[in-house]
Structure 1
Amino acid sequence: MAFGVPIQLPRKEGIQTRYINFVYEAFREGSGLITGVMAVATDVTEQILATRKIEEAEERARLAIEAAELGTFEVNMDTDATLISERMAAIFDVPVDAKREEFIAAIFPEDLPIRNSAYKNAQENGVLDYDGRVQWKDGTIHWMRVRGKVIRNEEGKPNRLVGVVQDITEQKTFAEALAQQVRERTLQLEVKNRELERSNTNLEEFAHVASHDLKEPIRKILFFTDRLKNELAGKITESEERLFGRIELAGVRMRTLVDDLLQYSHVSQRPPEKELVDLAGKVKKVLEDLELEIEQKQAKITVGPLPQVLGYRRQLQQLFQNLITNALKYHKPGEAPQVTISSRVLKGSETPLLLNELEKEASFCMIEVADAGIGFEQAQAEKAFQMFQRLH
């Protein structure tokens, strides 16, 4: 007899390798004399190829189990007999031929209820799944992860349990160390938050006291300036009248700044409400405050039509003041500063903003402040908007 003999045979598709089983039997005459041989050939190519696929799949599974350092087990649920791999025995720190009771005895006592509950659930749903600890003979504790499947017989009764075991001690140790770091960092953040709250409280108290202390001298400056102007009425020139006007404007501006400082001290308690702000009026006030510097540098400020928008009046005015002040300060040597302020209405989809589909169809007002100054590198664009940062 010969089994699975490869033979090259012609077929419609060309020459193919087929696998043949040969059975030989002697042909005897009535007298018992052998006069020939009878041969029976059976094509078993499909069976051979199917067997090879199964062997290849088993080899891949074996390599995967070895690479993952998994232990394997099989339990006969009728006889309690076990088939254990060397890796599983090593994870439990017991001999490979140990009985099932020895494996159970190696489980950390506090985790036995978890193991028993998992086996009970496996009887019902067919899946064994739990993490637990084993205690080695040297007293050390190791974590394991058990995954398995219950196989039922033709009658639907569980009769085999097959599964794998993985040592997850390093994963658990890392997770515990990470959790400890998170707890420590959380505690540090709580301490920092308390310090920040205390600092904010001190800052609010300072701003509140400072603003109230500053209001009184400003009030007196405005009061006596107005009184002096009234007493000198008709005795001062037009130029002196303008100087009085500038003093009064500067005093009013200072009073507004103090009021804003007081409001800022309460920002953390209650955010300011948005209001309708006339941007043209805010820019006009900024230009009045910067009038002397604009005249000295012979700057050309061009202001186009500007809209009214919902926003924070003080922040918007400060924004324009910062932009125009920078343009006056960082102009090209030998050239008078030039600043252009304009606005245009755009659809949301035409802006660089990250918007939802509804916002993309909405209208937005883009305010542009351009100057012919020395500029800055584009790589520093983000830094320009950080607090207490200067690019030049």
Structure 2
Amino acid sequence: MDKFYQSLMQAPIGMVVLRGRELVIEMVNDTYLTIVDRAREEVANRPLMDVLPELQGQRFPELLRAVWETGNTQRESEALTYVDSHDGRRKYYLDFEYTPLRELNGTVSGIMVTVNDVTVKVEAREKIQAAEQRLRLAIEATNLGTFDWDLENQEFYSSPRLVEIFGFPADDAVSHQQLIEALHPDDLHIREKAVSTSFTTGGLSYEARIIWPDKSVHWIRVRGKIVHDDDRKPLRMYGTAVDITQQKTFTQELEKKVQERTAELKESNHALQKSNEELAQFAFVASHDLQEPLRKIQTFATRIQATEDALTDRGKDYFRRMQQASMQMQQLIADVLSYSRMNAAGQHVEALDLGMLLANVQEQLSERMEAVGATIEMAALPVVKVIPYQFEQLLTNILANALKYIKPDVPPRIVITAGTADGQAIGPLAGDGVYYRIAIADNGIGFDPQYSERIFQVFQRLHGRNEYEGTGIGLAICKKIMDNHHGFITATGEPGQGATFFLYLPA
């Protein structure tokens, strides 16, 4: 008897014996005490409802009374129960049975309660069901059709959406073979190859055309995954299918437009190439046939002035103006030619010390610097990758400007410094890279800040020809050279306060 009692006390199922109409606890095992979170001395020989008052309002007291009064067993599975524990109210799911205990004369004298805590099992199942519901909603939202292919028994399940994708009513019973037969004959080999490969790789993936019952052609994309047993034998294939007809149609239309646009661009490039060839021919004419008459005008004007004594002062002035106009036109032709030839295609790039390059430019401008008493202060400059003759032309143009636009009676002073700058600080077109930053500042007449972009445009002059010589192309050439080097040029200035040019070159 002791062994039997001990077994009851240690049983994995909660057990309690209730006696009398008051349902006094006569015997209770350890599992039941764990479920209700009570100590043995708290429950022994006390009415159940005094020990567990939280059961009032729940259905269990009513069921117990029904067992007592009718003598019929009451049982239930996964009953939701709330029990007050030492750390608050807990929710349980319990399988229970209330069995009447009878005297020899058949009257009910007690109730045997057995309780099995199945909370973990129920909550796990609810989580799985919730996950399945979320998955269903996600699949419905993406318009995916799903399938489950039992490879062992060759049984195939398709979702209603999959049936619709193949052009059938959702509630039709469509067999696997019917779905295969819906594939376009020219695309059957695509599926066969994909399925064959999936048995090796474990994954199914292909796109193919299908023919609906109404003979219209549609595109589908199929994805699948094979489940193997421990011996790597394929057991099942789970997968999805989606209608990509609209996407395919858009892609095909886009490809067609790209091809048409490519053909148009090819034609435009051909026309542009022809135009460039014509411009090159014009440049040749400009550099030879146009400049030769200008040289003759200047030569004969000079001879007439030197040999003809009968010229009046007015006639001499006319000849002087004629010479100046021809010289300006000659310079304009030279500058236009220089601008048109400043391209990056086929140009040799090499790493050069900017300090040495500036020294060469300074030597070329030495006579002009001496004439105006100019000085140049130069900090240490970096080694950069440039097209040598183009960058020399750029530096020459900027320094020549600084020696041209000077203030009266103020010796020109040019300061050249270098550093680095982040692309984001330069502008949106510069990107995220790092750039060398070369600043060339002068103390000349400066310019109004509103013209900081205009000065880099072709033929843009801020002063008349009578004030300062030039054609208005020099800074436009500088900008084109910086474009050729994937860099940037900017300028700042104030009237009477000088100007600063900033050169940004990729580091």
Query: By the TM > 0.5 criterion, same fold?
Result: yes
| 1:156 alignment partner, SS class | coil
Which amino acid in the other structure matches residue 140 of structure 2?
E
Give the structure-2-normalised TM-score.
0.58
- The match for 1:128 among 196, 199, 204 is 204
Quote the residue 2:186 is aligned against. 110
What one-letter code is carried by the residue in structure 1 that aligns with 2:417? V
Tell me which residue corresponds to 2:218: 142
Which AA in structure 1 matches 2:191?
R
* 2:414 maps to amino acid: S
1:17 corresponds to: 91
What is aligned with 1:332?
none
Q: Cα gap change, 1:176/1:385 in structure 2, threshold over 3 Å: closer, same or farther?
A: farther
Instruction: Give the equivalent residue in structure 2 for 1:72.
Output: 146
CA distance in 2, matches of 1:259, 1:204: 14
Structure-2 change in CA distance of 1:145 and 1:273 (3 Å): closer
Match of 1:203 among 267, 270, 279: 279
Would you say 1:59 and 2:133 are equivalent positions? yes
More displaced stretch, 219-228 vs 164-173: 219-228
Q: CA deviation at 1:320?
A: 6.6
Shift of 1:218: 3.4
Q: Which stretch shows the higher mean deviation, 87-96 or 315-324?
A: 315-324
**TM-score, reference length from structure 1:** 0.73
Aligned to 1:192: 268
CA positional deviation for 1:167: 0.7
Identify the residue that residue 91 of structure 1 maps to in structure 2: 165
CA contact (8 A) 1:211 1:261 kept: no
Residues 91/20 of structure 1: CA separation in 2 closer, same or farther (3 Å cut): same
Matched with 2:293 is 217
CA–CA separation in structure 2 for the residues paired with 1:59 and 1:161 = 21
Q: Does the alignment pair 1:305 with 2:373?
A: no
1:368 correspondence with 2:441: yes
- The answer (yes or no) to whether the contact 1:131–1:146 under 8 Å persists in 2 is yes
Identify the match of residue 278 of structure 1 among 361, 366, 372. 361
Alpha-carbon distance in structure 1 between the residues aligned to 2:462 and 2:133:
65
Q: Does 1:348 align with 2:420?
A: yes
Show the 5 A alignment for 1:257-336: 258=333, 271=347, 277-278=360-361, 304-305=375-376, 311-312=389-390, 314=393
Cα separation, partners in 2 of 1:365 and 1:36, compared to 1, 3 Å: closer
Aligned Cα root-mean-square deviation (Å): 4.5
Unaligned runs of 5+ in 1: 233-239, 289-300, 329-335
Equivalent residue letter for 1:367: I
Question: What is the one-letter code of the residue matched to 2:251?
Answer: A
Q: CA deviation at 1:230?
A: 7.3
Amino acid in the other structure paired with 1:305: I
Q: Which has the larger radius of gyration?
A: 2
Gaps of 5+ in 2: 1-74, 309-315, 351-356, 382-387, 464-507
Aligned counterparts of 1:92 and 1:221: Cα–Cα separation in 2:
86
Distance 1:304 1:10 in 2: 94
Match of 1:297 in 2: none
Number of aligned positions between the proteins: 355
Distance 1:70 1:35, change over 3 A: same
Structure 2 CA distance for aligned equivalents of residues 121 and 256 of structure 1: 74
Question: 1:44 deviation in Å?
Answer: 1.4
Deviation per CA, 1:250-282: give whole Å up to 9, x if none: 877765655565566655675488976525855
- DSSP 3-state at the match of 2:376: coil
| Partner amino acid, structure 2, of 1:16 | R
Q: What are the within-5 Å matches in structure 2 for residues 150-189 of structure 1? A: 150-189=226-265
CA distance in 2, matches of 1:89, 1:303: 87
Cα deviation code 1:294-323 (max 9, x no counterpart): xxxxxxx99652769965355555567789
Deviation track 1:350-383 (CA, whole Å, cap 9, x = no partner) reads 99666966x66xxx54113664544418xxx656
The one-letter code of the counterpart of 2:440 is I
CA-CA distance at 1:340 after TM superposition? 7.3
Q: Partners in 2 of 1:147 and 1:130 — Cα distance?
A: 7
Aligned mates of 1:56, 1:195 — CA distance in 2: 65
1:80-113 CA deviation, whole Å, 9 max, x = no partner? 2211111111111246312211110000111111
Cα gap change, 1:49 to 1:116, in 2 (>3 Å): same
Distance across 2 between alignment mates of 1:146 and 1:251:
77
How far does the alpha carbon of each residue in 1:146-166 deviate from its partner, in whole angstroms, 9 at most, with x for none?
A: 111112234432121111111
Q: Deviations over 1:318-352 (max 9, x none)?
A: 56778999x89xxxxxxx9x997733212224996
User: Is the CA contact 1:339–1:371 (under 8 Å) kept in the aligned structure 2?
Assistant: no
Report the Cα distance in structure 1 between the residues aligned to 2:325 and 2:413, rounded to whole angstroms. Answer: 24
Q: 1:386 to 1:147 in 2, by over 3 A?
A: farther
Rounded to whole Å, the distance in 2 between the matches of 1:339 and 1:192 is 53
Report the Cα distance in structure 1 between the residues aligned to 2:307 and 2:364, rounded to whole angstroms.
32
Deviations 1:237-256 (A, max 9, x none): xxx9xx98x99898777656
Look up the SS of the partner of 2:186 in the other structure: helix
Q: 1:49, 1:280 → 2: CA distance?
A: 89
SS of residue in 2 equivalent to 1:305: strand
